[in-house]
Amino acid sequence: MTKRLPLLALLLLVPACAAQQTTATGFIAPTTPLVAAAEDPATLAYAAPAERLAGYRAVIIEEIAFRPGPAAPAIQDPAVLEALRLSYRAALSEAFARRGYQLVAAPLAEGRTMRLRAAITGYERANVALNVATSLLAAPVTAGGAASESELVDALTGERLVAQATHSNGTPFLGGPQNYYREHGHARAALARHARELAARLPMAATNWAVR
């Protein structure tokens, strides 16, 4: 056990090697102020009053945008970016489905529908070759991560209901230590975390169905 402590200590220092930060690219218009979230001051968020969020049953997920912030790669790899978009969209779909929301392509005839806009604003890869080399001596020394901005609006009126700007840098707890050896493992795990956090700002949809 004592031999593993230095390794764990090194792993916990790895996030200093990833440089993602919460962004304000303008993707989320400044119509309502975002404030530091109680659970994480690095996350900026807004949620309408609980009574305003009641009654929604469905979500339309728009195409995932890319709005590069200061920590985005200077040169984009289209294949990597498309893979991250697909991964983020899948994570959003799963997160909202788990909270009971229907995923639809158009507003419901009965029951309120939200429209979800989301953008990847930064991402970073782990240097797998370097991590493998340094792991032979001690521990991986680079990590990945991602930043995103997202909002939910009423599908008919455009009124903002929830918004979030956040980021996550790689740690041993972001998808597990194996993500140090996957170029974009931390980025995918970060976006999945952001999806869950956004969905959690809404009530469970099952409690809304009686309100139309």
* Among the listed residues 164, 174, 184, the one whose alpha carbon sits nearest the alpha carbon of residue 92: 164
DSSP string, 12-50: HHGGGG--------SSS-TTS--EEETTEEEEEEEE--H
Query: 139, 136, 130: which is closest to 177 by C-alpha?
Result: 139
- Please tell me the distance from the alpha carbon of residue 11 to that of residue 169, in angstroms, as a whole number: 13
Question: DSSP letters of 126-169?
Answer: --HHHHHHHHTTS------EEEEEEEEEETTT--EEEEEEEEEE
Regarding beta strands 56-61 and 102-103, do their DSSP bridges make them parallel or antiparallel, or are they unpaired?
A: parallel
Of 134, 148, 53, 36, nearest in space to 99 by CA: 53
Q: What is the pLDDT of residues 136-183, one digit of tens each?
A: 888 898 899 999 999 999 999 999 999 999 999 988 888 888 999 999
Instruction: Report residue 29 as tokens.
Output: 């218009």
Band of pLDDT at residue 9, cut at 50, 70 and 90: low
CA dist list (Å): 85 to 78, 90, 121, 128, 192: 10, 9, 11, 21, 11
Q: Which CATH number fits domain 4-207: 3.90.25, 2.30.29, 2.30.30, 3.40.50?
A: 3.40.50
Task: Spell out the domain ranges in the chain.
Answer: 4-207
What pLDDT is recorded for position 135? 86
Specify the DSSP class assigned to residue 102: E
DSSP 209: T
pLDDT per position as a tens digit, 200-210: 999 998 555 44
pLDDT value of residue 76: 86
Partner residues linked to 85 by β-bridges: none
Identify the pLDDT of residue 4. Answer: 45
Q: The whole model's pTM is what?
A: 0.88
Closest CA to 12 of 136, 155, 173: 173
Rounded distance between C-alpha atoms, residue 126 and residue 85, angstroms: 18
How far, in Å, CA of 149 to CA of 9, rounded?
A: 31
Q: Quick: pLDDT tens for 65-118.
A: 999 999 898 888 999 999 999 999 999 999 999 999 999 999 998 779 999 999
Check pLDDT > 60 for residue 3.
Answer: no
